[in-house]
Chains A and B, each alone.
Chain A
Amino acid sequence: MASLGRGFVAFFILNVFRRRPMSETVNNTGSLAGMSEGEDGLVENIFGNSVITTRLRELGVTPGVRVRLLRSGCPTVVQVEGGRFCVRRKDAESIKVRIPGQER
Chain B
Amino acid sequence: MGSLGSTAQNTEIDESVTIALVGNPNTGKTTLFNGLTGLFQRVGNYPGVTVERKEGRFDLGNGRTVRLVDLPGAYSLSALSPDETIVADVLLGRQEGEPPVSAVLAIVDATNIQRNLYLVSQILELGLPVVLALNMIDLADSRGIRIEAGEISKQLGVPVVPVCASRKSGLPEIRAALTAVVVSPAPPLRPTVPEFPDILKDQVEFLSNGAGGSNANGYVNRARVFRGIIDEGGYAEKKLLEHRGEGFRDQLDQIRENVSGGEPLSSLESAVRYDWIGSVLSNAVTRSDRLQETLSDRVDRYITHRFFGTLIFIGIMTLVFQAIYAWSGPLMDVIDSSFAWIAGKVGSTMPEGALRSLVVDGLIGGVGSVVVFVPQIGILFLFLALLEGCGYMSRAAFLMDRLFARCGLSGKSFIPLLSSFACAVPGIMAARTIEDKRERFTTILIAPLMSCSARLPVYTIFIGAFVPDRTVMGEWFGLQGLTLFAMYSVGALVAIPTAYLLKRTLLGGGTTPFILEFPSYKVPDLRTVFLRVYLSCKSFLERAGTIILAAAVVMWALAYFPRSPDIERNFEARMDEVRSRPNQVAVEAELSNLEAELASELLNQSFLGRAGRIIEPAVRPLGWDWRIGMAALASFPAREIVVATLGTIYSLGDVDESSEDLRQAMRNATWEDGRKVFTLPVALSIMVFFALCAQCTATLAIIQRETQSWKWAAFSFSYMTLFAYLGAFAVYQLTTALGWGG
Contacts and interface: CB of A to CB of B under 8 A. Distances in A.
Interface of A: 1-8, 11-12, 14-16, 18, 40, 46, 48-60, 62-63, 65-68, 70-71, 73-75, 77, 79-88, 91
Nearest to B267: A57
A83 B112 contact: yes
A82 B112 contact: yes
Interface string B269-291: 11100100000000000000111
Contacts of B489: 7
A59 B75 contact: yes
Contacts, number: 150
**Majority-rule SS of B interface residues:** helix
A15 B306 contact: yes
Contact of B514 (A5, A54, A60, A75): A75
B266 A53 contact: yes
10 contacts: A6-B485, A7-B485, A53-B266, A56-B515, A65-B274, A75-B402, A77-B300, A82-B143, A83-B115, A84-B300
A3 B721 CA distance: 26
Contact of B481 (A3, A12, A70, A86): A3
A51 B111 CA distance: 26
Contacts of B271: 62-63
A1 B325 contact: yes
B318 interface: yes
Contacts of B318: 4-5, 8
A12 B513 contact: no
Interface of B: 75-76, 78, 80, 109, 111-115, 118, 143, 145, 232, 264, 266-267, 269-271, 274, 289-292, 296-297, 300, 304, 306-307, 310-311, 314, 317-318, 321-322, 325, 394, 398-399, 401-403, 405, 411, 481-482, 484-485, 488-489, 511, 513-518
Given A1-B325, A15-B310, A15-B402, 7 more contacts: A4-B318, A11-B403, A18-B402, A75-B516, A83-B112, A85-B515, A87-B515
Nearest to A87: B515
Contacts of A55: 75-76, 80, 513, 515
A16 B398 contact: no
A50 to B, nearest CB: 7
Contacts of B321: 1, 4
B405 A88 contact: yes
Interface centre among A56, A62, A73, A91, by most B CB within 10 Å? Answer: A62
Contacts of A66: 289-291
Nearest to A14: B403
A75 B139 CA distance: 28
Given A1-B325, A74-B402, A82-B111, A58 B516 contact: no
B485 A3 contact: yes
A58 B517 contact: no
B513 A51 contact: yes
Nearest to B292: A82
Contacts of A83: 112, 115, 517
B514 to A, nearest CB: 5
B232 A49 contact: yes
Given A7-B489, A75-B398, A62 B514 contact: no
A21 B428 CA distance: 33
A73 to B, nearest CB: 8
A60 B515 contact: no
A87 B398 CA distance: 9
B424 to A, nearest CB: 17
Contacts of B402: 15, 18, 74-75
A62 B80 contact: no
Contacts of B307: 16
Nearest to A56: B515
A49 B517 CA distance: 20
Top 10 A-B pairs, shortest CB-CB distance: A82-B112, A3-B485, A57-B270, A49-B264, A54-B266, A84-B518, A85-B517, A58-B76, A15-B310, A82-B111
Contacts of A48: 264
A54 B80 CA distance: 9
A84 B382 CA distance: 26
